[in-house]
Structure 1
Amino acid sequence: MSADADQRTIRCLVAKVGLDGHDRGAHVIARAFRDAGFEVIYSGLHRSPDEVVQAAVQEDVDVLGISILSGAHNTLVPKILAGLDEYDALDDTLVVVGGIIPEDDRPKLKEAGVGGIFGPGASMEEAVEFVRENAPQRD
């Protein structure tokens, strides 16, 4: 039995929020996470912030990956963070965002509770390693 077999599987929700219909990146990261041994749930397209929060809470995920290319990240991501906070789930959930996020917007998102932001050109290995290193430890 390997050392990895003794570790709990990281549960991830990969979510597409808002009207953004471009989901290729979400599928690519979901596959990379699965290949890394994570348990992955995909939300499907056009989810509301509340639907994403409900799924994250109900599925008791360790990691919420939000894929957003629409430019609505400053509106939708804070709504998701606030929803997680309402359920006392924000401290127990690593939130990462992938997509087109301008450098000027990143500090505000991180201050609000986003753990990591991955833009175009980020490697799958980088994202997987970040999740492994930063996913909350639970019993």
Structure 2
Amino acid sequence: MSTQDSEDRTIRCLVAKVGLDGHDRGAHVIARAFRDAGFEVIYSGLHKSPDEIVQAAVQEDVDALGISILSGAHNTLVPKIVEGLESYDAFEDTLVLVGGIIPDEDRDELYEMGVDGIFGPGSSMAETIEFVRENAPER
């Protein structure tokens, strides 16, 4: 792929709501911001299981997976998604982001398991978009 091709490629993102968390305003806001930034965005809808999210990420061949979670179950659900991506050899090729309410004391564990970025309340859209642009894997 030439340098020009890689600069012009469209970044594919899955914005996913996992578990019983029914608060999706933030997911809709980031999905819209990603679309406005020129990303191709797939939204999972509410109440998806970790396996459904993994299946969607693999089938849609996404560059980035944004997991929106406000329920407090991030230490249970995010590892299942990471393990699922690994089982399909898709983890290394997928930028994994977590957005929502993630306590400071839980962040290191998420980063250690391979989460690439954590964006909580107050994170700027510009910062999040730039992070995806700079870190989405080359394909």
Bucket of the pairwise TM-score, normalised by the shorter protein: over 0.9
**Aligned 1:1-139 pairs, distance under 5 A:** 7-138=8-139
User: Could you give the per-residue CA deviations for residues 99-132 of structure 1, whole angstroms, max 9, x where no partner exists?
Assistant: 0000110011011010000000001001000000
The TM-score normalised by the length of structure 1 is 0.95
Q: What displacement does 1:4 show?
A: 8.8
Change in Cα spacing, 1:6 to 1:117, as seen in structure 2 (3 Å) is closer
Aligned residues: 136
Q: Check whether the contact 2:69–2:99 (CA below 8 A) recurs between aligned residues.
A: yes
Which amino acid in 2 is paired with 1:73?
Answer: H
User: Could you give the per-residue CA deviations for residues 33-91 of structure 1, whole angstroms, max 9, x where no partner exists?
Assistant: 00000000000000000000000000000000000000000000000000000000000
Q: Where in structure 1 are there 5+ consecutive unaligned residues?
A: none
Structure 1: distance between partners of 2:95 and 2:59: 15
Which amino acid in 1 is paired with 2:92?
Answer: D
Which amino acid in 2 is paired with 1:29?
Answer: I
Q: Which of structure 1's runs of 4+ aligned residues deviate more than 4 A? A: 3-6
Q: Secondary structure at the match of 2:112?
A: helix
Which amino acid in 1 is paired with 2:57?
Answer: A
Structure 2: distance between partners of 1:4 and 1:61: 17
Change in Cα spacing, 1:82 to 1:70, as seen in structure 2 (3 Å) is same
Q: What displacement does 1:7 show?
A: 1.5
Cα root mean square deviation, aligned: 1.3
Structure 1: distance between partners of 2:64 and 2:6: 20
Structure 2: distance between partners of 1:110 and 1:90: 14
Return 30-39 or 4-13, whichever deviates more. 4-13
Q: What displacement does 1:31 show?
A: 0.3
Which amino acid in 2 is paired with 1:36?
Answer: A
The TM-score normalised by the length of structure 2 is 0.95
